[in-house]
Amino acid sequence: MTTTTTLAQVYREHPIHLRDIIPLDFNSIRSVPDSHVWPISDDFSSNHQLLVPIIDLKAPNAVKLAGHACETWGAFQIINHGIHLNLLEEVESEARRLFSLPTQTKMKALREPAGATGYGQARISPFFPNYMWHEGFTIMDSPADHARALWPTDSARFCDVIERYQKQMKVLAEKLTDLILESLAIFREDLNWDVGSPSTALQLNSYPPCPNPNRAMGLAPHTDTSFLTILHQGSISGLQIFKQGAGWISVLPLTGALVVNVGDLLHILTNARFPSVLHRAVLNQEGSHRLSVAYFYGLPIDCSVSPLLKLLDSGENPRYRPVTVKEYVDIKSKNFEEPLTSIRI
């Protein structure tokens, strides 16, 4: 009998040192330690004259708008997406409840060196010379085990909210995938994706108040390994995306809206037509505690991804060789800065 590899199992093959997992005890910090200082630069500022596209999913031209936003921005915000504001507020409230726990309590759910889920620093931490002003909580499948470690007698509320959110995010991610594929005149039937369940993860992010936000970084610039990512960023600004020719653009929070960004796998599928958008989180100047919730939607782990030939213009060659999702995650775990170079033809 063949066993299906999971995303969590793939990450187990790439263990991380504990020093890159254990977050700072932000409650006891009065100044930014040298380990978390980033070079002061006006690069932290953004171009406020450009706005990331906002797409009403109920609009008759939503397919066309989504395709154009993917190609020109690699990201967009969505409204009328079907996720009730109450649920967005509930998941943010549960994230705040989690990150407000005492440090010693949160450490009971610490991500293991060869683990993929639980409490800890951003998984991208080992690839940068300085640490980030961030703590996270990663969930794949059920949150129950780690939730019981945090709330031995009161984990049901957290699990209920998270599981409802995961279920609705999966439905929305599949709707968005179909929308984006339709913009390319591609349909699921054209693709060989029936080799298992989608690889998904939910990431709760916390950016605590910082005594000197101009000297620290919330989350360093990176692209997502996923097919697409759906982000609830709350009401506090901090997310920035990089647009060629314009620089860093702040994605201004819009009540009830969700941010969608193109991941590496969609970039490969479209032969680089859709940019896998570089993004980061900067710290707010008001000293507020910022939270965000990211849902990463990927293809089945054993699925092979390559540029779709029917998308290539006449005379255009594929830029990337075929690669399974597992192989690409392996590549990016070792070569974080230029993983796409490793599969370039």
Which residues are catalytically annotated? 290
Give rounded-to-5 percent helix, strand, coil for the chain. 35, 20, 45
Alpha-carbon distance 318 to 322, whole Å?
A: 10
Alpha-carbon distance 260 to 245, whole Å?
A: 21
Amino acid at 165: Y
CA–CA distances in Å: residue 30 to residues 64, 104, 105, 260: 49, 19, 21, 35
Q: Residue 344, CB half-sphere, CA atoms under 13 Å: how many? A: 6
CB neighbour list of residue 44: distance below 8 Å, 6 or more residues apart: 214, 282
Burial class (CB in 10 A: 0-12, 13-18, 19+), 323: buried
Query: 227 near 266, Cβ under 8 Å?
Result: yes
Alpha-carbon distance 301 to 199, whole Å?
A: 6
Nearest to 110 by CA among 52, 235, 39, 25: 25
Query: 98 near 207, Cβ under 8 Å?
Result: no
Q: Is the dihedral of CA 296, 300, 304, 310 positive or negative?
A: negative
Run of H or E residues at 204: strand 200-207
Nearest to 179 by CA among 302, 308, 59, 309: 59
Among left, alpha and beta (phi > 0; psi -120 to 50; other), residue 272 is left
Tokens 């154009």 sit on residue:
68
